């Protein structure tokens, strides 16, 4: 069988990292030839792996229809232009390559489903990694949900939260993002050594670019509250991964004149104003192995997202490394409150500080939560199990042809 994968870019983020693992799991699956199409061609280490894991790598210029809890939102004017666009060139490419199944890796490309199904006999797999919020009159949300529901042969949802968006569950398979537990054997764990940090220092980390919805403000306010109001038994340091480049002041001023906020400058200013520099270290986007090397050395992982979705890829990775989790939201899909972490209110830095203090002062609880989280992650996200489910989906579709 010939399987085409399409996504918006080649990176290490949630959707890109998960697709890389999917393709890695199928590397020796001889029944399928794999074709990878990306709408954005980035020169990075991820691209090297996408090329290695597939039989064809190709860039194809296609627009993205954004509507997600992370803040992506396409205007109604752009939305209508996208859904009425002509995508015959791309569909002809699929036909010429004799594609049997197209696996669309993100809802930003869901508009391709309808023309593909109307023109070809290609089977469609839609990977839903986002909850699609309602804005304006709900036109974008309704279109995306209805299109996915009607024109997908299989809908893969990464948790029950995404599945709950759809009225008909017959096509839905809930399949959490995978993790390759074999990589744990390759980790160097040199972060503390390279930075002369004692094993007794408690390291607390979060990840995400400087944007409002990632929750840096909540994290920073909780850190200040913790340091001002609690007695803690251990020295503590905080790490923030994956931040975007900080703009110089002149760019910040121009953005302000244009009515745009510069969250990076805002958060850095907060750190300086409150004398938190000594406690906080900031890192840019890291390649997977470098990130894992640091992740293995931390003690607590925090996901303070205002989107309140405690089931992202960063949570899976932290759980796989045996770290207790503090995350905003109410979904217990991964985090069982008081078992492998705590679920907190996204508007309550005092509550986040309280839970950080509890975990900082209780090494045994950190260990207990971490072990339980790793067990949960192993049962739900192991790459070998993931491979079996994906192959079953593909072979089930091609047997119907």
Q: Any idea what the CATH number is for the domain that residue 355 is in?
A: 3.40.50.2000
Query: Tens-digit pLDDT profile for the chain (401 aa)?
Result: 999 999 987 766 778 889 999 999 999 999 999 999 998 877 778 889 999 999 999 999 999 999 888 778 999 999 999 999 999 999 999 999 999 999 999 999 999 999 999 999 999 999 999 999 998 889 999 999 999 999 999 999 999 999 999 998 999 999 999 999 999 988 878 899 999 999 999 999 999 888 888 999 999 999 999 999 999 889 999 999 877 666 666 665 666 666 777 677 888 899 999 999 999 999 886 666 788 889 999 999 999 999 999 998 999 999 999 999 999 999 999 999 999 999 999 999 999 999 999 999 999 999 999 999 999 999 999 999 999 999 999 999 998 54
Residues 364 and 387 in one domain: no
Residues 286 and 363 in one domain: yes
Residues 135 and 187 in one domain: no
Give CA torsion, residues 117, 118, 120, 125, to 10 deg. 0
Domains in the chain, number: 2
Residues 9 and 62 in one domain: yes
- For residue 357, what is the DSSP state? H
Residues 142 and 204 in one domain: no
User: Read out DSSP for 329-342?
Assistant: SS--SS--BTTTEE
- What domain range is 364 assigned to? 181-380
Residues 151 and 261 in one domain: no
Residues 162 and 211 in one domain: no
Residues 75 and 222 in one domain: no
Nearest in space to 331 (alpha carbons), one of 190, 187, 195, 174: 174
Residues 103 and 24 in one domain: yes
Q: Residue 301 and residue 295: Cα distance in Å, rounded?
A: 9
Residues 165 and 270 in one domain: no
Q: Residue 77 and residue 75: Cα distance in Å, rounded?
A: 5
Residues 19 and 128 in one domain: yes
Alpha helix locations (H) across 102-235?
113-119, 139-151, 160-163, 191-194, 216-229
CATH code of residue 14: 3.40.50.11010
Residues 392 and 351 in one domain: no
Whole-model pTM: value is 0.91
Q: Which are the contacts of 71, defined by CB distance < 8 A and separation ≥ 6?
A: 211, 212, 213, 307
CB 253: neighbour CB atoms within 10 A? 13
């Amino acid at each position: 069988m010939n399987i085409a994968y399409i996504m918006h870019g080649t990176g290490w983020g949630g959707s890109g990292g998960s697709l890389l693992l999917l393709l890695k799991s199928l590397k020796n699956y001889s029944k399928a030839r794999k074709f990878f199409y990306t709408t954005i061609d980035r020169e990075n280490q991820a691209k090297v792996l996408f090329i290695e894991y597939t039989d064809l790598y190709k860039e194809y210029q296609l627009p993205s229809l954004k509507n997600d809890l992370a803040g992506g939102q396409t205007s109604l004017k752009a939305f209508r232009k996208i859904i009425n666009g002509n995508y015959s060139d791309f569909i002809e490419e699929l036909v010429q390559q004799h594609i049997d199944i197209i696996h669309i890796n993100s809802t930003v490309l869901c508009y391709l489903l309808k023309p593909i199904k109307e023109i070809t006999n290609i089977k469609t797999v839609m990977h839903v990694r986002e909850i699609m919020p309602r804005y304006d009159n709900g036109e974008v949300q309704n279109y995306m949900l209805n299109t996915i529901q009607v024109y997908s042969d299989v809908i893969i949802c990464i948790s029950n939260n995404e599945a709950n968006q759809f009225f008909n569950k017959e096509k839905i398979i809930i399949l959490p993002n995978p993790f390759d537990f074999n990589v744990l054997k390759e980790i160097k764990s040199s972060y503390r050594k390279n930075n002369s940090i004692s094993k007794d220092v408690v390291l607390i980390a979060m990840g995400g670019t400087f944007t409002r919805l990632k929750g840096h403000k909540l994290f920073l306010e909780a850190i200040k509250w913790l340091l001002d109001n609690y007695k803690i038994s251990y020295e503590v340091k905080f790490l923030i991964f994956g931040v975007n480049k900080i703009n110089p002041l002149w760019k910040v001023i121009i953005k302000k004149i244009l009515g745009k906020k510069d969250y990076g400058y805002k958060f850095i200013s907060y750190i300086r104003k409150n004398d938190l520099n000594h406690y906080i270290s900031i890192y840019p986007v890291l390649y997977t192995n470098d990130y894992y090397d640091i992740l293995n050395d931390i003690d607590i992982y925090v996901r303070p997202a205002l989107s309140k979705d405690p089931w992202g890829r960063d949570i899976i990775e932290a759980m796989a490394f045996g770290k207790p989790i503090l995350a905003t939201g109410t979904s217990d899909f991964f985090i069982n409150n008081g078992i492998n972490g705590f679920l907190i209110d996204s508007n309550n830095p005092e509550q986040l500080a309280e839970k950080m203090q509890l975990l900082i002062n209780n090494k045994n609880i950190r260990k207990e939560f971490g072990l339980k989280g790793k067990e949960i992650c192993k049962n739900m996200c192991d790459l070998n199990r993931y491979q079996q489910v994906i192959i079953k989906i593909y072979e089930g579709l091609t047997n119907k042809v």
